[in-house]
């Protein structure tokens, strides 16, 4: 089987476009209906300007979404699109991806759509490793239903449904995805197009399920949720950019770094205070997700040091290629299906 | 010893024992022997919901009933002529069904004080005269089996386990069954355990010889083969036939089959069966839940597969939101509901017809779907093909309503010639149409184009929001919504012109009473009708394959009879639809016992209506 | 300048603008002023599904219609007498509804080339004569507002934003509305932003003065207060009344209310409202999905709370399996469905009545549940209490069917005296009964005991598997299942004896035609009936509060009229139930436009049926 | 609020029994209907013999289950019980626990029930930290439906639904629970009653959601799944018993130990080869779940070193006590609810 698997992953079976594409090729005639100032605009533009780089035939790209502001996304993409129902996009996309290796399948979802009603489909997609690229627009609020707290809202959040503050501890989508056996787990942010596109680039090429959490501002119901990561004054001090193979250093002047303490935990140190060899080097390819998990815990409500980038990116055969391989193997072994023979199988007798 | 041979036209045997006694296997083997002998037959397995309920208890009793005859028959039979009871629990649970004078074979070895007490027998019924009204054959089956296997190098437990083969051998002798099939089967089954294989074969042969040599049985019976249309036959259960129907639908449409399913009794076997047919390009996906299962199937349909999902009633409840999405997006999808007794978890291994209104109406908004129902185990094959035809032609989810009785029951099936099966045209939208409109309808069928990803120039977006016909963009226009709602309904209603009119069996043409059924009641109703006719009654019979839309002539048929009786294993669900649509005062007959109707019971009901005319 | 004052008996005003223009707020304030003035009134908000659809576009238009009168009225009115259009999109989307000669106030500042082009106006309709058939008041509302606020220390944007208050001031002057309420409201609302507060008040007053001083308006109107029963009144929306009804049900039963909910339009506001009433011991739980929401509610009911879940149609689809479990376990539970236009996601902010059959039948197996429907916004209060009464008394899930129109629409409500509200007796099982039987039924209601954890000696197990009456253990006995299925049905059917007979309004007693409705159509139907009667027609009217079971006299009522018209915002769901149950050939009138019926439209339909008699 | 929270957790509000109890008090007259030899019997017996130790009034204990062989459990417990529907037990129990602080609420579930159809409710219960004690009987198979693979089955498993072997990577329930912000996460095994009961003891006292994974043998459809952990010959060599505050040493002779490597990963070393100070000490109370997560990854299909015991046990206010506190605070602030005043709130007018 392993042979069959080789090179069958990700985009290798998706036909390439004939000519050069531009962002315009991916725009539809539909009016974009997000609130002015919504972070979704920036993500849409980033995706539309990124896709030409992949050079795939437009008709072989599909966007599948659930319900929410973010889930309107497919209407604005001039590809095949499916705006489905709340929380179910990963399930629908799984059927599509598992049956069509010649498609590049993207899921667009929100923090409510993916983590609240759709939580089960998300974690199962991750462990199955179906060829889906999941873009999770995390604005830490239910936008479309006008502002209730979401599974990523910070504790104590006052919203329409929690006038005295929310009680439940939020999910950290990265930790959850790592605990769910995700093979590609990343975080980026709406306001940093370069970073966003660099993550999309890696995700698109990944063989299996890629989860990309995108911090997204909802300027109507949760404005400024990620301001520390955006404010030019502080962002470099609190954003920890993860790069595979690079020492984890951050701060405006690279003045902070991560070190593994004796106990095994990560600790933030002043770069100047430690020897370069003590600075942790990010290894997204580590088969063991434990270090990626530990990095995910650096995140805190106060945004003291928030990692963005690719936490984990490892190889594991994708569900769809393995399924394909089983089909091929069955044919190899016993020949293609013969309906007449099938029906006449088992114990039969003839009456004349 | 030469035995008397008595000719019978039909026999009903029930094997009953502990879940661990292998009664389903015994029944299956006897069925295969009987089938290959050329009798017509019908079977009814009946087993507990527990995997292995505690040994020797009433809930642990498992049984298998087989009806076979020298003529065509329709049901597994109302009451057994012969009951095989492997232990006191099996006796207690089943004796009530054995008519006076019936044959009763009991395995006395199991009638120990402890086992008797377990099921509340104060005294041993085999000895206290309470079974005097039956023809009792009290046999120490276990010890005879163990005795016969003395020389084999197997454990006592394994030897004891072979007692079902001893019983099978005895019954096979008693009814003159061919034995090659069973011998070959045992060889296959235990190929990897030759000791066990030989022991089982020996037990089987010992049972046969016992019948032949002992005085306990003075008569041997013979049931001649039935005259059946020429052809190649096999015995088949409903779930198997259904799975084959799906494979056939894939082959005949050229569409790859994609099954998204979550296991649930009594539907799981369809998943199991289809997972074996990867050679046909059939993809099976065991999902994390029912919602993911139908979601994946719908996603595959969007991608140009024949999307299928299989489940039972509780699963349908979970899938209902996604069925609505399939209605709104107008994609082909097969939703297979193998009904079981509800509400809620109900009685998972028992049958019922109480999901009709659920599949008809169980979604938000006006969301019509066609409904097709098979009427016998082998008919599941044709029904699956018909459901697929409608789904693909009309770009719509279609519900196929099977049930636990059809699923596990079996009957001989004349294997169809593949070339005679209907072909199904996917009719994908062709690339390159200018200004492609994903909701431009075919004027005849009102179906929209099926434009699958990968087709250049047809890029489009679909979704669950309301849309104008044609473009498929989002629309909140009030009048458009009214128009679209009516269009979706009209598309489904229009299928009435694409299905055969309801055929009525009314031989004399003089009947004033019609009995109308759907689904698994076909056999019981037809058998009842035969009885009524045999007794001189005039009765017309019709059976609905399509529950939505109804055949175009249904109203007219209903109105041409003075009385219409509608037997259903629910509280009157089809009756409600008929009354609501045609304003005909149909008479429901409803019993929910988790079992098919008895022919006798229905014959009585029908006769009463005739008499009250 | 003294103005002429003209008396009117009723007025319909529609405020229309961009989603960002604050039209809902303006409408709300005008409504409150009108309510406190003592007019009868009815409102219809209408807003896009998008939070802020792009400014100036058709999908972004938000409107609020208010009907008020010096007599009791029933609907928000078919067509406005006055349309306020804050931009070209609002004009374009609404002008079709304004009858010739109607008053039209447009904000000319927004009629820029760009804005006109956005909605496809080639020329400016205010200038090209195309509005000549209306009484057009073309006013630069924005610049007048900005002008009036020149001296305030606020941004231009904030000044522009206050234009809705300018409009409100103008309209308040035009219709002689009291202003204290609005002033107090603005003080409250902007308490933390005094600059904005003062500006808004100034804008409001500028609008008022503008009316008073300018020549643009020569006439002022007066609509006298309506004669209404004495009492304390407030204006209330359906969702608010429903939430209050639930709080009241908790108080009157002594049961703590537990709401498990997942947000969904148009039901979310009930969750929002109830989350404010922790002082009443009301627990609100925002669950991870609809299934968890109803699951938690059912768990709370098991624990002795009044379990409630609120949702809309798609959520009901997801909850259906758990509703079945509540039926099987026979626990009290309120399931509130605020219907919206389907199928699937449909049109979330638009209304429809198409979930009736879903809630009636959308579960596996025979799983009957009572269904109650409110008929007006304020009636949601009483309907919630009635649903709770049935749920608790009969230990059953009850569905309360509201809809988007009732939910967001409002009307004056005479606040009831708390002591006159029905009391609800939980009647918990008492500790210490020997050999407690969780399924021993009350012979009168057929309800089972509600034995809550913590009660010594009543430890018991419930579940979704079939059980024998009495013990509640697991049972697969065939006859028991039939018995239990019928018992569960009989319990629900028996509620017919515990609800009032259907009252028919047939003043002359000579009507030959009955118009029968349910839910939100009450107002439209009653208004239509008034019109028909005013024109000399004889027509009887009745409205169903209970959809399952029906009132005991319903069949008789239906049969006492020659023709029965059933208007529904669906394809005929109640009609199916009536036809199926009573075999009466009711005539459906069905339109699904996402909006309530117009009285005129229904009057025509009714008159046609009368005329065809 | 913090005052209100004090001591309100876990069992403090559950009334105590008057007299001494015995296992018999917790048995019902229902016939136990598992297959002979099923691991569920041992767990049932362990729970029944453990409960008297808690000394709670029997009527204040509730068992809520889903559907599956394991979920038949409540029928055999002479307490209040709710055998609900597939996957939904955590949701139902959440409503019960959040409204009844005087109850000890237990959830019994299977690997299919909890992790397949019920996955979403499980992860949300964990992050919410409702007072539920969840016993997850993990037999790595769907028992009741006769043997399909489950989300914990090893890759390549041949079952009725996967004749060519299953394709999806299984969940590690411990990793998943840690990724879902669980505050109490433990693993034990049906065959070791002492260990099982020690874990139950800690779980019962925990304030919030406790997840206890119990390895359970299904002798019909997945016999021997955990044999290496049971076989007296090898079990001590492969079972890593976690004890809070203790060095992590295992092997029949305590000859193996865990050490934190420089990279931060755990590595198995020979106890004799390292200094005692280098041996990792288990800290279940660590606020950061990263080390617990790393321990969870020691588990492997081959059972080379499988940790059992309490991975994580930390304090976080439970959902139910916080909800209670909000209710109390609302009353404190504004007095108890007055219906007449509520109804007459807002803008009113009088007509005489
Ligand atoms: C079955 C169902 N339940 C609930 C809803 C209502 N609903 C729509 S979107 C949404 C949550 C949106 O939040 P998120 O996923 O974070 O998306 P955002 O709008 O913030 O982008 C909800 C609760 C629905 N449409 N369908
Ligand atoms: C809604 C629904 N879907 C499916 C089923 C069928 N079903 C019952 S139990 C079960 C899985 C059981 O596996 P597990 O939870 O591991 O429990 P076990 O039997 O192994 O203890 C399934 C699929 C059901 N009863 N209800
Ligand atoms: S509500 Fe928030 S997330 Fe939704 S479109 Fe507006 S700004 Fe964006
Ligand atoms: S099938 Fe397996 S899990 Fe179920 S009762 Fe039998 S042995 Fe136990
Ligand atoms: Mg969001
Ligand atoms: Mg299991």
Q: DSSP letter string over C217-278? A: --EEEEEPPP---SEEEEEEEHHHHHHHHHHHHHHHHTPPEEEEE---TTTHHHHHHHTT-G
- Cβ contact, residue pair D31, B59, below 8 Å: yes
Question: How does residue C196 score in pLDDT terms, banded at 50, 70 and 90?
Answer: very high
Maximum mean pLDDT: which of B110-119, B150-159, B518-527 = B518-527
Residue D5 pLDDT > 70, yes or no?
no
Of A61, A80, A28, A25, which is closest to residue B438 (Cα–Cα)? A80
| Strand bridging mode B587-590 / B563-568 | parallel
What gap in Å lies between CA C544 and CA C550, rounded to an integer? 8
Mean pLDDT of all residues in chain C? 94
What percent of chain A clears pLDDT 70, i.e. is strictly above it? Answer: 97
Question: How does residue C433 score in pLDDT terms, banded at 50, 70 and 90?
Answer: low
What number of other Cβ atoms are within 10 A of residue B6's Cβ? 10
Mean pLDDT of all residues in chain D? 94
**CA dist list (Å): C254 to C251, C381, C388, D49, D59:** 5, 17, 12, 38, 22
Q: What is the value of ipTM here, to two decimals?
A: 0.96
The token duo for B183 is: 């011998």
What gap in Å lies between CA A26 and CA C38, rounded to an integer? 57
Nearest to B52 among D35, D86, D149 (CB): D35
pLDDT in tens, B28-70: 999 998 988 889 999 999 887 777 777 888 888 999 999 999 9
Nearest to C35 among D77, D327, D349 (CB): D349
Q: Is D219 in the pocket of ligand 4 (CB under 6 A)?
A: yes
What gap in Å lies between CA C524 and CA C541, rounded to an integer? 12
Residue A5 pLDDT > 60, yes or no?
no
Residue A100 pLDDT > 60, yes or no?
yes
pLDDT of residue A50: 97
Residue A7 pLDDT > 70, yes or no?
no
Determine contact, residues B514/B542, Cβ cutoff 8 Å. Answer: yes
Question: How does residue A264 score in pLDDT terms, banded at 50, 70 and 90?
Answer: confident
Counted residue by residue, chain B has a size of 613
Q: Which residues contact A151 (CB under 8 A, 6 or more apart)?
A: A111, A112, A115, A116, A119, A168, A170, A171, C288, D124, D127
A293 contacts in chain D (CB < 8 Å): 178-179, 289-290, 293-294
Q: Which residues pair with B439 in a beta bridge?
A: B470
pLDDT mean over B238-260: 98
Residue B544 pLDDT > 90, yes or no?
yes
Nearest to B302 among A77, A82, A350 (CB): A82
Residue D122 pLDDT > 60, yes or no?
yes
Q: Report how far ligand 1's centroid is from the alpha carbon of C613 (Å).
A: 50
For chain D, report the end-to-end CA distance as a whole number of angstroms: 46
Listed in order, strand segments (DSSP E) in C353-451 are 371-372, 397-403, 410-414
pLDDT mean over C225-240: 93
B592 contacts in chain C (CB < 8 Å): 366, 481-482, 485
Instruction: Count the helices and strands in chain C (H runs, E runs).
Output: 20, 23
What number of other Cβ atoms are within 10 A of residue C380's Cβ? 31
Q: Which residues contact C212 (CB under 8 A, 6 or more apart)?
A: C1, C3, C173
pLDDT in tens, B402-449: 999 999 999 999 999 999 999 999 999 998 767 899 999 999 999 999
Listed in order, strand segments (DSSP E) in chain D are 61-65, 80-83, 104-110, 133-138, 184-189, 210-215, 239-242, 249-250, 256-260, 266-270, 306-313, 348-351
Question: How does residue A31 score in pLDDT terms, banded at 50, 70 and 90?
Answer: confident
- Cβ contact, residue pair C59, A31, below 8 Å: yes
Tell me which residue has its CA closest to atom 2 in ligand 3: A218
Residue D216 pLDDT > 60, yes or no?
yes
pLDDT of residue C1: 53
D80-102 residues labelled b (16+ CB within 10 A) or e (exposed)? bbbbbbbbbbbbbbbbbbbbbbe
What number of other Cβ atoms are within 10 A of residue B157's Cβ? 7
- Say if residue A144 is preceded by a cis peptide, omega within 30 of 0: no
**For testing contact with chain B, the best of C79, C333, C339, C344 (most B CBs within 10 A):** C344
pLDDT mean over C273-302: 98
- For chain A, what is the largest distance between any 2 Cα atoms, rounded to a whole number of angstroms? 94
pLDDT in tens, B479-517: 999 999 999 999 999 999 999 999 999 999 999 999 999
Residue A324 pLDDT > 80, yes or no?
yes
Quote the minimal CA–CA distance from A207 to chain B in Å. Answer: 19
Chain C residues 351-380 within an 8 A CB cutoff of chain B: 352, 354-355, 357-358, 360-367
**CA dist list (Å): D283 to A327, D287, D288, D291, D310:** 48, 9, 10, 8, 10
Helices (H), B476-553: 478-494, 522-534
pLDDT of residue C228: 87
**CA dist list (Å): B225 to A351, B353, B409:** 10, 33, 20
Q: Report how far ligand 5's centroid is from the alpha carbon of D326 (Å).
A: 25
pLDDT in tens, D293-327: 999 999 988 899 999 999 999 999 999 999 999 99
pLDDT of residue D3: 36
Of B207-221, C10-24, D109-123, minimum mean pLDDT range:
B207-221
Q: Report how far ligand 6's centroid is from the alpha carbon of C491 (Å).
A: 37
Residue A262 pLDDT > 80, yes or no?
no
Atom of ligand 1 nearest to the CA of A109: 15
D113: which DSSP letter? I
Tell me which residue has its CA closest to atom 6 in ligand 4: D35
Determine contact, residues B444/B497, Cβ cutoff 8 Å. Answer: no
Atom of ligand 3 nearest to the CA of A40: 8
What number of other Cβ atoms are within 10 A of residue A341's Cβ? 10
Atom of ligand 4 nearest to the CA of B52: 6
Q: Report how far ligand 2's centroid is from the alpha carbon of B403 (Å).
A: 19
Nearest to D98 among C282, C285, C473 (CB): C285
- Which ligand minimizes its atom distance to the CA of A222? 3
pLDDT of residue A3: 36
- For chain B, what is the largest distance between any 2 Cα atoms, rounded to a whole number of angstroms? 88
Q: Report how far ligand 2's centroid is from the alpha carbon of A117 (Å).
A: 21
- Cβ contact, residue pair D83, C291, below 8 Å: no
Determine contact, residues B15/B87, Cβ cutoff 8 Å. Answer: no
The neighbourhood of ligand 5, an ion, using CB within 5 A, equals A 110-111, 139, 143
Site of tokens 């600790």: A267
Nearest to A67 among C50, C55, C345 (CB): C345
What gap in Å lies between CA C165 and CA C212, rounded to an integer? 16
What gap in Å lies between CA D94 and CA D124, rounded to an integer? 10
Quote the minimal CA–CA distance from A316 to chain C in Å. Answer: 30
Instruction: Using CB atoms, list chains with 3+ pairs below 8 Å to chain B.
Output: A, C, D
The token duo for C517 is: 């409705």
Of C6, C118, C112, C1, which is closest to residue C59 (Cα–Cα)? C118
Of C454, C491, C459, C482, which is closest to residue C472 (Cα–Cα)? C459
Of B258, B359, B339, which is closest to residue B299 (Cα–Cα)? B258
Contacts A–B by Cβ distance under 8 A: 208
Is C289 in the B-facing interface, judged by CB distances under 8 Å?
no
Q: Report how far ligand 2's centroid is from the alpha carbon of D117 (Å).
A: 8
Question: How does residue A351 score in pLDDT terms, banded at 50, 70 and 90?
Answer: confident
pLDDT in tens, C142-181: 999 999 999 898 999 999 999 999 999 999 999 989 988 8
Substitution candidate for ligand 2 out of D74, D86, D216, D221 with most atoms within 8 A of CB: D86
The token duo for B296 is: 């994946």
| Strand bridging mode C546-548 / B397-403 | unpaired
- Say if residue D136 is preceded by a cis peptide, omega within 30 of 0: no
Quote the minimal CA–CA distance from D57 to chain B in Å. Answer: 30
- Cβ contact, residue pair D145, B275, below 8 Å: no
Q: Is D137 in the pocket of ligand 4 (CB under 6 A)?
A: no
Q: Report how far ligand 3's centroid is from the alpha carbon of B476 (Å).
A: 20
Is D117 in the B-facing interface, judged by CB distances under 8 Å?
yes
B418-437 residues labelled b (16+ CB within 10 A) or e (exposed)? beebeebeeeebeeeeeebb
Determine contact, residues C33/C168, Cβ cutoff 8 Å. Answer: no
pLDDT of residue C266: 97
Binding pocket residue ranges, ligand 2, CB within 6 Å: B 262-264, 290, 314-315, 318, 345; D 67-70, 86, 110-113, 137, 139, 141-145, 150
pLDDT mean over D49-57: 97
φ, ψ of residue D80 in degrees (nearest 5): -75, 145
Question: How does residue C300 score in pLDDT terms, banded at 50, 70 and 90?
Answer: very high
- Cβ contact, residue pair B277, A342, below 8 Å: yes
pLDDT in tens, C472-495: 999 999 999 999 999 999 999 999
**For testing contact with chain B, the best of A16, A99, A118, A334 (most B CBs within 10 A):** A99
Site of tokens 């067509």: C79
Is D352 in the C-facing interface, judged by CB distances under 8 Å?
yes
Determine contact, residues C279/D331, Cβ cutoff 8 Å. Answer: yes
Q: Report how far ligand 5's centroid is from the alpha carbon of A282 (Å).
A: 30
Residue D2 pLDDT > 50, yes or no?
no
What percent of chain D clears pLDDT 70, i.e. is strictly above it? Answer: 97
pLDDT of residue D296: 97
Residue A6 pLDDT > 60, yes or no?
no
φ, ψ of residue D34 in degrees (nearest 5): -95, 160
The token duo for B456 is: 């250049």
B437: which DSSP letter? -
pLDDT in tens, B126-169: 999 899 999 999 999 999 999 999 989 899 899 999 999 999 99
pLDDT mean over D79-101: 98
What gap in Å lies between CA C189 and CA C182, rounded to an integer? 10
Is A161 in the C-facing interface, judged by CB distances under 8 Å?
yes
Nearest to D116 among B50, B288, B345 (CB): B288
Is D87 in the B-facing interface, judged by CB distances under 8 Å?
yes
* B586 burial via Cβ count (<10 Å: 0-12, 13-18, 19+): buried
Atom of ligand 2 nearest to the CA of D110: 15
- Tell me the DSSP string of A34-99: SPTT-HHHHHHHHHHHHHHHH-B-GGGEEEEE-SSSGGGGGGGBSSEEEE--TT-HHHHHHHHHHH
What is the chain D residue with the closest CA to A120? Answer: D120
φ, ψ of residue D219 in degrees (nearest 5): -75, -5
Quote the minimal CA–CA distance from B191 to chain C in Å. Answer: 37
């Amino acid at each position: 089987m392993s042979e069959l698997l080789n090179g069958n992953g990700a985009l290798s079976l998706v036909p390439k476009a004939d000519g050069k594409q531009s962002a315009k090729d991916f725009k539809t005639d539909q009016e974009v209906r997000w609130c002015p100032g919504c972070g979704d605009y920036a993500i849409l533009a980033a995706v539309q300007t990124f896709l030409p780089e992949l050079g795939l035939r437009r008709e072989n790209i599909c966007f599948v979404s659930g319900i929410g502001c973010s889930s309107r996304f497919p209407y604005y993409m001039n590809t095949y699109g499916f705006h489905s129902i709340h929380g179910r996009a990963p399930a629908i996309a799984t059927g599509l991806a598992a049956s069509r290796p010649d498609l590049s399948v993207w899921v667009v979802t929100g923090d409510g759509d993916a983590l609240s009603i759709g939580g089960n489909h998300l974690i199962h997609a991750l462990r199955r490793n179906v060829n889906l690229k999941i873009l999770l627009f995390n604005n830490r609020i239910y936008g479309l239903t006008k502002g209730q707290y979401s599974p990523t809202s910070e504790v104590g959040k006052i919203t329409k449904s929690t006038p005295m503050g929310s009680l439940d501890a939020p999910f950290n989508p990265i930790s959850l995805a790592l605990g769910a056996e995700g093979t590609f787990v990343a975080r980026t942010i709406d306001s940093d197009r370069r970073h966003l596109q660099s993550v999309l680039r890696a995700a698109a090429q990944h063989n299996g399920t890629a989860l990309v959490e995108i911090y997204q501002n909802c300027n109507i119901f949760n404005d400024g949720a990620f301001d520390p990561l955006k404010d030019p004054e502080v962002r470099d001090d609190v954003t920890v950019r993860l790069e595979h193979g690079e020492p984890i250093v951050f701060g405006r002047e690279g003045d902070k770094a991560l070190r593994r303490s004796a106990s095994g935990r990560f600790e933030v140190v002043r770069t100047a205070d430690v020897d370069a060899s003590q600075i942790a080097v990010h290894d997204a390819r580590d088969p063991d997700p434990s270090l990626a998990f530990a990095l995910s815990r650096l995140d805190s409500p106060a945004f003291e040091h928030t990692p963005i980038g690719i936490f984990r990116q490892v190889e594991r055969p994708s569900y769809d290629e393995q399924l394909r391989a089983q089909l091929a193997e069955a044919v190899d072994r016993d020949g293609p299906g013969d309906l007449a023979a099938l029906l006449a199988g088992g114990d039969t007798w003839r009456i004349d | 010893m030469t035995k008397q041979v008595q000719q019978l036209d039909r026999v009903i045997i029930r094997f009953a024992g502990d879940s661990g006694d292998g009664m389903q296997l015994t029944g299956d083997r006897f069925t295969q022997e009987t089938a290959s002998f050329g009798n017509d037959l019908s079977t009814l397995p009946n087993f507990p919901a527990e995997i292995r309920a505690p040994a020797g208890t009433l809930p642990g009793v498992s049984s298998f009933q087989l009806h076979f005859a020298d003529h065509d028959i329709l049901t597994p039979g109302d009451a057994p002529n012969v009951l095989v009871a492997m232990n006191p629990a099996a006796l207690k649970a089943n004796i009530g069904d054995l008519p006076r004078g019936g044959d009763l074979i009991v395995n006395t070895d199991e009638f120990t004080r402890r086992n008797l007490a377990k099921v509340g027998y104060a005294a041993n019924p085999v000895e206290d005269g309470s079974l005097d009204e039956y023809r009792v054959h009290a046999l120490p089956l276990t010890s005879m089996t163990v005795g016969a296997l003395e020389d084999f190098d197997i454990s006592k437990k394994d030897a004891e386990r072979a007692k079902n083969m001893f019983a099978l051998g005895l019954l096979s002798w008693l009814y003159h069954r061919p034995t090659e099939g069973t011998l070959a089967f045992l060889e296959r089954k235990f190929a990897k355990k030759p000791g066990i294989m030989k022991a089982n074969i020996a037990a089987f042969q010992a049972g046969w010889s016992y019948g032949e040599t002992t005085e306990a049985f003075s008569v041997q019976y013979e049931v001649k083969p039935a005259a059946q249309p020429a052809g190649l036959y096999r015995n088949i259960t409903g779930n198997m036939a259904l799975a084959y129907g799906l494979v056939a639908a894939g082959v005949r449409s050229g569409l790859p089959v994609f099954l998204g399913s979550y296991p649930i009794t009594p539907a799981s076997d369809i998943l199991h069966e289809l997972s074996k047919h990867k050679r046909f390009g059939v993809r099976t996906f065991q999902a994390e839940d029912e919602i993911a299962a139908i979601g994946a199937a719908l996603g595959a349909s969007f991608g140009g597969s024949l999307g299928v999902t299989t489940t039972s009633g509780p699963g349908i409840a979970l899938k209902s939101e996604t069925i609505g999405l399939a209605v709104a997006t107008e994609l082909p999808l097969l939703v297979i509901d193998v009904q079981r007794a509800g509400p809620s978890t109900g009685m998972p291994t028992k049958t019922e017809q109480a999901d009709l209104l659920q599949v008809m109406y169980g979604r938000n908004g006006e969301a019509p779907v066609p409904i097709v129902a098979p009427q016998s185990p082998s008919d599941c094959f044709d029904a699956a093909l018909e459901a697929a035809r409608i789904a693909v032609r009309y770009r719509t989810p279609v519900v196929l309503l099977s049930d636990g009785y059809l699923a596990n029951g079996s009957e001989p099936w004349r294997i169809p010639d593949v070339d005679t099966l209907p072909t199904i045209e996917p009719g994908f939208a062709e690339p390159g149409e200018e200004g492609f409109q994903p909701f431009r309808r075919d004027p005849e069928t009102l179906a929209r184009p099926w434009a699958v990803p990968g087709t250049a120039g047809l890029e489009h977006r679909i979704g669950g929001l309301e849309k104008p016909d044609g473009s498929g963009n989002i629309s909140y226009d009030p009048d458009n919504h009214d128009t679209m709602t009516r269009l979706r309904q009209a598309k489904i209603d229009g299928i009435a012109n694409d299905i055969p009119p309801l055929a009525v069996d009314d031989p004399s043409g003089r009947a004033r009473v019609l009995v109308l059924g759907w689904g698994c009641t076909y056999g019981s109703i037809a058998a009842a009708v035969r009885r009524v006719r045999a007794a001189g009654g005039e009765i017309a019979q019709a059976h609905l394959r399509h529950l939505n839309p109804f055949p175009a002539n249904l109203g007219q048929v209903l109105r041409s009879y003075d009385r219409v009786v509608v037997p259903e294993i629910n509280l009157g669900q089809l009756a409600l639809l008929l009354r609501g649509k045609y304003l005909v005062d149909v008479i429901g007959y409803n019993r929910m016992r988790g079992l098919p109707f008895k022919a006798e019971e229905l014959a009585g009901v029908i006769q009463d209506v005739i008499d009250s005319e």
